[in-house]
Structure 1
Amino acid sequence: MPEVLGSIRQSITGFLQRCGLQYKNVPLDETWYSECCQEATKRGHPMDAILPYMSVGVAITSNAYGHLTDRPTKMWICLFTVVCTCMDDTMTSGTDLVHVYRFNERFANCQPHEHPVMHALDGIIREVACHYPAPVSNFIVTSGLNYVSSLLLDHETKDMRISPQAPSYPDYSRMLSGIPYAYAYCIFPSTLPLQEYVQCMLDLVIVINHTNDILSYYKEEIQGDSANYLSLVAASRGLTKQSALRELVEKTVQAHHSILEFLRPRPEAYDAYVAFFNGYFKFHTQGRYKLEEIM
């Protein structure tokens, strides 16, 4: 295990250096935390279920989306994150899963949900058009709905053998589960024309998903998680997890620098992305991913 941890540390350190990031523990914004709790309570969200995940939503909005000036939009991102994280942690097995299976149909038909977390997510997704114009709002909605489907996909495939004949499957699964399109479109102010940044959308998706995969890998490895993205990649391509991690670092660094090159002549989009990327890393230092244990 010490060798494995050393390899993980080396990969993460290399990733940070090549992206110009420096590890620094950032405290949670307690004022923003209080505001978000008050807003969730005011909306009637099920606080008993979602409160344990409030810090995740607060951390991502105060760090990765702190550059956005529209406070209601940041609140939306926070609550969306909180509810989705809650679902991922608490609704992927047992009787709650029945409600997840019914979510998209009930959402499409404007039918009430029998579970308070599902009800909260429904309202949050419907609200997105208040914060972003079409087609951006459309992409965010479909990303949210795909996330719900990804929970079902994980359930349906939990005993599935990963085939080396389908090496792209882990990427397909991750595109759904990471909600990357929603988080990518949210980087940019709603007033910024789509054409300023849309051509680098796939690279943004790579950066969002795989920065998380890289920085959460240590936590998942010590917890014995064998169903994460890197484990699936390793299984599908006959690699060790450490080799898969090194390749993923390379892919993510390249995507990051491609984004910077494309956005450089577009200062508003460039500044938004740089602020997001630096903040997205800070989000990963706030306890949930246990990076302080190896940095």
Structure 2
Amino acid sequence: MSIPTSQIIPPSTTEVAEMIRSYVDSLGYERTVVTLDLQLKSEVMAVPTSWSLGVEKNPRYVAVVHNSVGMADWVYRHHPFEIKVFVSLWTWRVFPFSVFSILVDDQAAELRIPLEQFHLRLLTAEPQMDPLLDRLVLLFQQTPRYWDPICASAIVCSFLDFINYTIIQERAEVKSKRDQVQSASWPPYIRAKDGQPDAFAYMVFTRDACPDVSVYLHAIPDISTFINLTNDVLSFYKEELAGDKHNLVHGRAQTSGATPLDELASIKDECLAAIRRVRAMLHGKGKYEEAWQACFPDHSMFHTATDRYRLSEIGLGQDVVEINSNT
């Protein structure tokens, strides 16, 4: 039975902060000065500028370049520069789509129909209804350059799910029942779809550095769990401050009868259990283990070094210094 959101007693920000600090400490967090590569940022911005679509002048898109470059430069720092440009562009595309649900009506209308038609037009090889989406298709086509063909397909499929389930949740008939979680399976299901964790999990293992897919394939589900649920834990503070109840923590609380804080604790424990399983599977696997260790725990750095998550307010910020890798 679903418990109405209005009847769920929210945790205090102090309780949330303590839970998040406990989780980040378990990941080996240290407050340090981190760098952001200006050369990488410049290369990433040069791509949309070259399209002559005016994207580089759109504040909504430009504002997320810093975060996108941070994802590549911090989490995938061991990848070659060319791949970090790709990851930055991939992540940059995610952010504008993910804010779809908070756009004002006229802005949302501009994106809704092109995105609803995206998959069909991709299958029929028709031009997309928005030139930016045509560039996204070109980005899809580049994935086999850096990842095994099957893994590249999984990365693309993950993004297609992300687009589809972002749009589904904005359909009027679905949105009107957003506070009525009828199945305990729904919150984790939709989170696995709209978080595209598989894409970022497969990105850990590039084709040239990690050619044997069989070595890491069974670790992908747990890496995906770690990526997705870490985001849920580390996003929860800002979401509580914003009064946002449409997240995995509150969704699970609606059907379990547990408090949101108890669900946050359970999610934290699930993250740590997934990490232990990945470590066990990749232990002694040489460059495959090294690839995982190079990304872990830097997925949390993406949150602690990015202002949008507001973690500096609870003592988990990182100071970011911009450098130029060419100097």
Instruction: Quickly name the TM-score band, shorter chain normalised.
Output: over 0.9
Partner in structure 1 of residue 192 of structure 2: 175
Partner in structure 1 of residue 321 of structure 2: none
TM-score by length of structure 1 reads 0.92
Structure 1 residues 119 and 207: alpha-carbon distance in aligned structure 2, compared to 1, 3 A threshold:
same
Deviation at 1:7, TM superposition (A): 1.0
Asked if 1:47 is matched to 2:62, the reply is no
How many residue pairs match? The answer is: 294
Asked if 1:190 is matched to 2:207, the reply is yes
SS of structure 1 residue aligned to 2:298? helix
In structure 1, give the amino acid aligned to 2:232.
D
SS of structure 2 residue aligned to 1:208? helix
Asked if 1:80 is matched to 2:90, the reply is yes
1:118 to 108, 133, 137: 133
| Contact 1:83/1:120 (<8 A) preserved | no
In structure 2, give the amino acid aligned to 1:77.
V
Deviation at 1:27, TM superposition (A): 4.8
2:76 to 65, 76, 90: 65
| Contact 2:71/2:88 (<8 A) preserved | yes
In structure 2, give the amino acid aligned to 1:79.
L
Matches of 1:3 and 1:152 in 2, distance apart? 30
SS of structure 1 residue aligned to 2:30? coil
Matches of 2:18 and 2:152 in 1, distance apart? 39
| Contact 1:215/1:284 (<8 A) preserved | yes
Once the two structures are superposed, the pairs formed by residues 200-239 of structure 1 within 5 Å of their partners are 200-239=219-258
Q: Which stretch of structure 1 is more off in the superposition, 245-254 or 15-24?
A: 15-24
1:153 to 168, 172, 187: 168
Deviation at 1:161, TM superposition (A): 5.2
| Contact 2:11/2:261 (<8 A) preserved | no
Matches of 2:242 and 2:97 in 1, distance apart? 19
Matches of 1:153 and 1:57 in 2, distance apart? 25
Partner in structure 2 of residue 15 of structure 1: 23
Matches of 1:77 and 1:291 in 2, distance apart? 24
Matches of 1:233 and 1:74 in 2, distance apart? 35
Deviations along 1:19-77, one digit per CA (max 9) or x if unpaired, are 222244535333321221113322456223421211121000000001112x2222111
| Contact 2:147/2:205 (<8 A) preserved | no
Identity across aligned pairs (percent)? 24
TM-score by length of structure 2 reads 0.84
| Contact 2:147/2:207 (<8 A) preserved | yes
Matches of 2:134 and 2:297 in 1, distance apart? 33
Q: Which stretch of structure 1 is more off in the superposition, 198-207 or 226-235?
A: 226-235
Q: CA RMSD in A?
A: 2.1
Asked if 1:292 is matched to 2:312, the reply is yes
Structure 1 residues 25 and 122: alpha-carbon distance in aligned structure 2, compared to 1, 3 A threshold:
same
| Contact 1:58/1:78 (<8 A) preserved | yes
Partner in structure 2 of residue 95 of structure 1: 110
Structure 1 residues 165 and 97: alpha-carbon distance in aligned structure 2, compared to 1, 3 A threshold:
closer
Partner in structure 2 of residue 36 of structure 1: 44
In structure 2, give the amino acid aligned to 1:33.
K
Unaligned runs of 5+ in 2: 1-8, 316-327
| Contact 1:40/1:79 (<8 A) preserved | no
SS of structure 2 residue aligned to 1:28? strand
Q: Which stretch of structure 1 is more off in the superposition, 169-178 or 33-42?
A: 33-42
Partner in structure 2 of residue 281 of structure 1: 300
Deviation at 1:168, TM superposition (A): 1.3
Matches of 1:2 and 1:108 in 2, distance apart? 44
Q: Which stretch of structure 1 is more off in the superposition, 114-123 or 251-260?
A: 114-123
| Contact 1:103/1:113 (<8 A) preserved | yes
In structure 2, give the amino acid aligned to 1:131.
Y
Deviation at 1:126, TM superposition (A): 2.2
Larger Rg: 2
